Structure 1
């Protein structure tokens, strides 16, 4: 986050904290909301991560930001206690549509790999994207999606980013 402030000159809030999360399925008590609790604890075994059912086809996770925002960065924290490679190939999608559970919205970025327990920052092609829904979508068969934290840094859509300096 300090990098964003230093590079762009202004702090933007993590709007995911006030959102509502859902996912394609849930393993045990690893609900979607665990990924927007404000904690980057990367140990699933400690109860801090979301987790879909094992071996699902096209699993997804989504946060509804409650209104449209101009999103400049999405930070994703991967699981640290095992299975870091499960997130490889996931896509971050942003938009205002719930068609196909939001997975048809435009792609912001692709996650090639996040090391175990690490947090990576993704910036959308073109600098920013507008949308109410932020999805992490993992295309393919026999996939499992685990997210320990998803942070969405944004300003309300229709407002100049300079208003938030």
Structure 2
């Protein structure tokens, strides 16, 4: 019982601020950028087939980001996330895709979530980008975990 209280206390010290942000993406193929921050895993974003597709979350204010949690698609196309970079920073140069790298996503199993530690990186913008020709980007949920004030 005491271990559950401690665990509950630790979770109360953290907050997912992604749901308070605003999302945009490089293009839209049926599914909107905000689908990745609606706190509902079955809805997913999807870009068109293009060069260097990206998704960006504007957190409105500078944040200290402890971790980013990405949830992948379950229905199809789960390999589209492979090789994507999570970038965090304050610049909108190159649509925010020049900000420092938090992590590179080697792969996420279909329908699963993976947490990437960002070690307290600071930034207003969180990007997920795949570099290269003829790529599509699809995300089902993005959570940005910060210390709860």
Output the TM-score relative to the length of structure 1: 0.82
The answer for the alignment partner of 1:34 in structure 2 is: 35
The answer for the alignment partner of 2:67 in structure 1 is: 73
The answer for the alignment partner of 2:45 in structure 1 is: 50
- 1:133 to 2:125 alignment: yes
> 2:52, 2:121 → 1: CA distance?
23
Deviates more, 1:146-155 or 1:98-107: 146-155
Report the 3-state secondary structure (helix = DSSP H, G, I; strand = E; otherwise coil) of the residue aligned with 1:9: helix
Report the 3-state secondary structure (helix = DSSP H, G, I; strand = E; otherwise coil) of the residue aligned with 1:27: coil
5 Å-filtered alignment, 1:1-150, equals 6=7, 9-10=10-11, 11-28=13-30, 30-41=31-42, 48-53=43-48, 55-124=49-118, 127-150=119-142
Unaligned runs of 5+ in 1: 42-47, 156-162
Q: CA deviation at 1:104?
A: 0.1
Q: CA deviation at 1:151?
A: 0.4
Question: Alpha-carbon deviations, 1:86-123, whole Å to 9, x = none?
Answer: 11000000000000000000000000000000000000
Number of residue pairs aligned between Structure 1 and Structure 2: 142
Q: CA deviation at 1:9?
A: 3.5
RMSD: 1.6
Unaligned runs of 5+ in 2: 1-5
> 1:61, 1:141 → 2: CA distance?
16
Q: After the TM superposition, which segments of 4 or more aligned residues of structure 1 sit over 2 Å from their partners?
A: 8-11
Q: CA deviation at 1:85?
A: 0.9
Report the 3-state secondary structure (helix = DSSP H, G, I; strand = E; otherwise coil) of the residue aligned with 2:41: coil
Q: CA deviation at 1:154?
A: 1.3
Q: CA deviation at 1:15?
A: 0.6
> 1:116, 1:22 → 2: CA distance?
23
